[in-house]
Copies of this chain bind each other. A is one copy, B any other.
Amino acid sequence: MKKLMNDSKNIVEEMVEGYVKAHPKHIKQVPENGRALVTAKETREEKVGILVGGGSGHEPGFMGYVGAGMADGVAVGNIFASPSPDPILEVTKNIDKGAGVVYLYGNYAGDVMNFGMAAEMADLEEDIEVGMALATDDVASAPKAEKEKRRGIAGEFFIFKAAGAAADFGYDLNDVVRVANKANENTRSMGVGLTPCSLPQTGEPSFELGEDEMEIGLGHHGEPGLEKGPLESADSVTDRLVNDILADIEINKGDKVAVLVNGLGSTPRMELYVMFRRVEQILSEMGIEIYRSYVGDYITSLEMGGASVTLMKLDDELEQAIDHPVDCPMFVQK
């Protein structure tokens, strides 16, 4: 597949260089490690630091979410691969303001290992307290009884948003972790894949699907989903996604939710809004209130075609968190 790139070996470094050059008032590299990016703005002493991270190729996730109201720093991995412990540790040292640092990342084996190692090093070598919260929002990736085995996908956005707000509110480390975990417990996502992306290094498609096929529950790195079949109408696909979510988490009449209809990279906004329209119809018929809506590319997989629906059930605390303003290079909320 065609890419606007130079040597594929340098694409992540060149992206990071462009990113830092484009947003110098927002973000800077830690001198010790080019894959360690932190906010360029002054952070309050005693604020709990928020560190996000994961593989590249999911932009705006994860580097796009560093800024006021969300994360203080990001560790940047290779494409679809966890960052190593070094940049995680460098970000940790840089953003610790005496109140510790919370790591937020998706539940993938490489991330679990590397963020875990970095947390140990932060504790032993730097005496920095680290808390962790994993995103496990992807309903398709494991049965309900084994939620702790599920992967994190677009719902990561809500978890970052909630924890970032909690840290800004002045919550301590345990309370920020509690809010992040509550956000994750209350969040469910279901996705559909239509067309693959390709890695710059290989040019090979990340999965195969027929000309008129879709795959329900396909993962963000092309992990197999629940079911392949002929592409259905937007309403029918949206019904499947929302029904699977509602079968997995109790959301009742009178409850409030935040909704994210997320594009995977090459799905036009037009199609995402057609899907949102159907989500709104379903929830409105059930008497569930949509408190806030996000429609667009929030966590992508390069140029993959497809979309996901995410619902986060809100209580007063999460409602306040979701309302909190944000000022990041790739996401601003007033």
**Which residues of A are at the interface with B, using a C-beta cutoff of 8 A?**
2-6, 11-12, 14-19, 21-23, 56-57, 59-60, 64, 192, 194-195, 197, 212, 214, 231, 233-235, 237, 259, 265-278, 280, 293, 295-297, 300, 302-303, 305-307, 327, 330, 332-334
Name the distance in Å between A96's Cβ and chain B's nearest Cβ: 26
Name the distance in Å between A316's Cβ and chain B's nearest Cβ: 20
Name the distance in Å between A110's Cβ and chain B's nearest Cβ: 19
Enumerate 20 A-B pairs (CB-CB under 8 Å) in ascending A order. Answer: A3-B234, A3-B271, A4-B307, A6-B274, A11-B270, A14-B234, A14-B273, A15-B270, A15-B273, A18-B274, A18-B276, A18-B278, A21-B293, A22-B293, A22-B295, A60-B269, A197-B268, A266-B266, A269-B330, A297-B297
A296 to B330, Cβ gap below 8 A?
yes
Question: How far, in whole Å, are A253 and B279 apart by their CA atoms in the complex?
Answer: 52
Q: Which 5 A-B pairs have the closest CB atoms?
A: A18-B277, A266-B266, A18-B273, A59-B269, A332-B332
Residue from B4, B234, B293 in contact with A5 in the complex, judged by beta carbons closer than 8 Å? B234
Name the distance in Å between A154's Cβ and chain B's nearest Cβ: 15
**B residues in contact with A231, CB < 8 Å:** 2
A268 to B303, Cβ gap below 8 A?
yes
Given contacts A6-B235, A214-B2, A274-B14, contact A303 B194 (CB under 8 A): no
Given contacts A14-B277, A18-B276, A276-B21, contact A6 B233 (CB under 8 A): yes
B194 to A2, Cβ gap below 8 A?
yes
Number of copies: 2
Name the distance in Å between A149's Cβ and chain B's nearest Cβ: 28
Closest to A329 in B: B295
**B residues in contact with A194, CB < 8 Å:** 2, 4
B333 to A332, Cβ gap below 8 A?
yes
Question: How far, in whole Å, are A14 and B302 apart by their CA atoms in the complex?
Answer: 27
Name the distance in Å between A328's Cβ and chain B's nearest Cβ: 10
Closest to A327 in B: B334
Residue from B233, B270, B300 in contact with A57 in the complex, judged by beta carbons closer than 8 Å? B270
Given contacts A18-B276, A22-B273, contact A268 B6 (CB under 8 A): no
B57 to A268, Cβ gap below 8 A?
yes
B265 to A266, Cβ gap below 8 A?
yes
Question: How far, in whole Å, are A77 and B304 apart by their CA atoms in the complex?
Answer: 28
Closest to A293 in B: B22
Residue from B18, B214, B269, B300 in contact with A275 in the complex, judged by beta carbons closer than 8 Å? B18
| A-B contacts besides A11-B274, A21-B280, A56-B270, 20 pairs, CB < 8 Å | A2-B305, A4-B267, A4-B272, A4-B306, A5-B233, A5-B234, A5-B274, A6-B235, A15-B277, A16-B273, A18-B273, A18-B278, A19-B276, A22-B259, A59-B270, A265-B268, A266-B266, A266-B303, A332-B334, A334-B334
Name the distance in Å between A165's Cβ and chain B's nearest Cβ: 16
Name the distance in Å between A186's Cβ and chain B's nearest Cβ: 20
**B residues in contact with A21, CB < 8 Å:** 276-277, 280, 293
**B residues in contact with A5, CB < 8 Å:** 233-234, 271, 274
**B residues in contact with A64, CB < 8 Å:** 269
